[in-house]
Amino acid sequence: MGSRGGVWMNLYSEETRNTTQLDQGEENTTEFAKGELRWYAVQVASGCEKRVKANLTQRIQTLDISDKIFSIEIPHTAAIRLRKDGSRQHGEEKVFPGYVLVQMKLNWHEEQKEWRIDDEAWQIVKSTPNVINFVGAEQKRRYGRGRGHVKPLPLSPSEVERIFRRAQEQEPLLKVTVAEGDYITVLSGPFKDFEGHVIEVSPERSKLKALLSIFGRDTPVELEFNQVEKHK
């Protein structure tokens, strides 16, 4: 098996590999139904997930291929970001940053004796700005060096269900802007204007511990997130 996107290594189960490798013979045609829709993971440039979805959606409409590419999704879950004033900003957090899921129709290719996505649809997705590649099996090059062609492999139905269920059921993530090792200044409370390094972060409690120099000695002090400011 060739290379896949790293984050998807543990998502591609044995079930996926088995359903995409068809045995020779007429019974293979029962592996997938004609025109069956399957989900594919597509790797995109970091931070460009929404842009890719918008561009690909526009291309599908312009090129009239809605019968080949049916849906584009960016699985996400709720997230809460703490502001300096202690208020909470509600937003979204991508479940798999750097990837979008594309639902496409399978066609039977008689020459290769296999089910695969439509060549035109594959090219349109691949040529969309900020798309890196489909996640799948890398085919070895016959000659020369460098990476070979990546054969897209569909996610199994159970994996697709697990991904979307994870996005729906996951508790809202609490996002903080400080991490262990950060240098901070205390903004309020008895230690106002003291400076030190963060040694522990507890997002579930909205608190952190920092080593502050008190009377010339490093002393661990517990603080609220909204009591500190991180140095840039």
Domain count of the fold of the chain: 2
Output DSSP code: residue 161: H
Q: Which two tokens stand for residue 168?
A: 């729906």
What is the residue type of 75?
P
> 225 lies in which domain range?
176-230
Residue 182 within a domain: yes
Q: Same domain for 116 and 81?
A: yes
Q: What is the mean pLDDT of the chain?
A: 78
d(CA 53, CA 56): 5
pLDDT bin (cut points 50, 70, 90) of residue 25 is very low
Regarding whether 135 and 97 lie in a shared domain, the answer is: yes
Indicate which CATH number applies to the domain containing 66.
Answer: 3.30.70.940
CB 149 within 8 A of CB 69: no
Paired with 184 in beta bridges are: 196, 230
Nearest to 71 by CA among 102, 38, 107, 117: 102
Domain shared by 33 and 105, yes or no: yes
Higher pLDDT among residues 186 and 226, named by residue: 186
Tokens 């890719």, residue located: 52
How crowded is residue 92: how many other Cβ atoms within 10 Å of its Cβ? 13
pLDDT confidence of residue 141 = 58
The tens digit of pLDDT for each residue in 154-163 reads 888 888 888 8
Considering the domain architecture, whether residues 21 and 111 belong to the same structural domain is answered as yes
Averaged pLDDT, 128-142: 82
Is residue 189 domain-shared with residue 168, that is, in the same domain?
A: no
150 plus 190 within the same structural domain: no
- 31-85: pLDDT as tens digits: 555 568 899 999 999 889 999 999 999 999 999 999 999 999 999 887 777 665 5
Alpha-carbon distance of 181 to 199, in angstroms, equals 6
